[in-house]
Structure 1
């Protein structure tokens, strides 16, 4: 094993499980979003914007995994709060307009069911990732990694 490979193994093992799990959940959220995009006809401009956002989120998640506290905060606030609102506001507004969830489920085709499932998985990944990033071992990791590195 080369010295670089050994160094990478040591660095990887230094990442707490909570942070690794949070990272995987952020990747799961991105995958669920990509599935939702694939299920719908999206104009090229809209597709480019969403894919660009996903690339930025992936880059920020990588920085979070590397121990950058600013990245953890961007994910928690930007996606944990505002991203979640963007995913749930439309269905909540639709329900508040007097539409029936039971009727909608009865009329749903395969695409609708897959879209709903991917959105639910997306939100669940985010809601589970955020608390993992703030567990005690994760907090210690981010506090230690930020000292003198940014």
Structure 2
């Protein structure tokens, strides 16, 4: 079954978003490591994030293969929960008077890099979500599911 360009592009954008999340984690850990030792809490956070990113990549792989449940999973977990976790805290900080860069990127040495990567991350999620529910993708996901053993 040939997948439409919208599905291919959405999968690429999901991979971009997940990769941006990994880069954000590296930047945040680098900032922490500059100021102190990495304690057990930081390592636990890295472990949880690694599991989330791995799970997200698995969802993207199944989405790209035409699995409806993966599309729903991506929409709920990454488009709603993940995007909310990125945007809501920044919006609260903006409402409290923080600058845009501080609200999105923080105030450390890597603030500008984090800001740019976070904006890329948000844009990739929004575009991937739009593409995965575009008319071409909707038609693709309405087709009968392939039978697998």
TM-score (norm 2): 0.81
1:60 and 2:48 aligned: no
Q: Indicate yes or no: 2:39 matched with 1:51.
A: no
After TM superposition, what 4+ stretches of structure 1 lie above 2 angstroms from structure 2? 98-105, 107-110, 145-149
2: CA distance, partners of 1:110 / 1:77: 33
Question: Over aligned residue pairs, what C-alpha RMSD do you find?
Answer: 2.5
Q: What is the CA deviation profile of residues 78-98 of structure 1, one whole-angstrom value per residue up to 9, with x for unaligned ones?
A: 211111110011111111223
The answer to whether the 8 Å contact 2:10/2:127 transfers is: yes
Aligned residues: 137
1:36/1:115 contact within 8 Å kept? yes
Where does residue 40 of structure 1 map in the other structure?
A: 28
Provide TM-score, normalisation by structure 1: 0.81
The question of 1:30 aligning with 2:10 is answered: no
Q: Is the 8 A contact 1:67 1:145 kept in 2?
A: no
Q: Deviations over 1:69-125 (max 9, x none)?
A: 1111111122111111100111111112233448879x9665100001111111100
